[in-house]
Amino acid sequence: MRLDPFALEVLRHALAGAAEEMNANLVRSAYSPNIKERRDCSSALFTPEGALVAQAESIPVHLGAMPFSVGAALAAVRDWAEGDVVVLNDPYLGGAHLPDVTFVAPAFFRGELLAFVACRAHHADIGGSSPGSLSPWARDVFGEGLRIPPVHLWRRGELDRELLALLLLNVRTPEERLGDLRAQHAACQTGIARLEELALRYGKELLSEGMREILDYGERRMRAALVRLPQGVAEFEDALDDDGLGSGPLPIRVRVELRGDRVRVDFAGSAPQARGPVNAPLAVTASAVYFALRAVADPTIPPSAGPYRPIEIHAPAGSIVNPRPPAPVVGGNLETSQRIVDVILGALAQLVPDRVPAAGQGTMNNVAIGGTDPRTGRPYAFYETIAGGAGARPDGDGPHGVHTGMTNTLNTPVEALELAYPLRVERYELRPGTGGKGRFHGGWGIRRDLTPLGHTAHASILSDRRVGRPYGLGGGEPGAPGENVLIRDGKEIPLPGKTELDLRPGEVLSIRTPGGGGHGPIERREKQT
Average pLDDT, stretch 146-151? 98
Task: Give the model's confidence band at 59: pLDDT under 50 very low, under 70 low, under 90 confident, else very high.
Answer: confident
- Residue 370 pLDDT exceeds 60: yes
> pLDDT tens, 312-352?
999 999 999 999 999 999 999 999 999 999 999 999 999 99
- Residue 148 pLDDT exceeds 60: yes
Tell how strand 262-266 and strand 311-314 pair up. Answer: parallel
Task: Give the model's confidence band at 529: pLDDT under 50 very low, under 70 low, under 90 confident, else very high.
Answer: very low
CA distances from 511 to 359, 403, 408 (A): 20, 15, 19
Task: Give the model's confidence band at 58: pLDDT under 50 very low, under 70 low, under 90 confident, else very high.
Answer: confident
Task: Give the model's confidence band at 526: pLDDT under 50 very low, under 70 low, under 90 confident, else very high.
Answer: low
pLDDT cut 70: percent of the chain above it: 99
CA distances from 410 to 38, 39, 407, 428, 483 (A): 4, 7, 9, 14, 21
> pLDDT tens, 441-466?
999 999 999 999 999 999 999 999 99
- Supply the mean pLDDT for the chain: 96
Distance from C-alpha of 123 to C-alpha of 426, rounded to nearest angstrom: 25
Res 329: pLDDT? 98
- Residue 255 pLDDT exceeds 90: yes
What pTM was estimated for this model as a whole?
Answer: 0.97
In 365-451, where does DSSP find H-type helix?
Answer: 414-420
Distance from C-alpha of 271 to C-alpha of 305, rounded to nearest angstrom: 29
Q: What are phi and psi of 299, to 5 degrees?
A: -65, -10
| Of the listed ranges 58-62, 187-191, 358-362, 363-367, the one predicted with least confidence | 58-62
> pLDDT tens, 392-434?
999 999 999 999 999 989 999 999 999 999 999 999 999 999 9
CA distances from 330 to 18, 217, 361, 511 (A): 30, 35, 19, 19
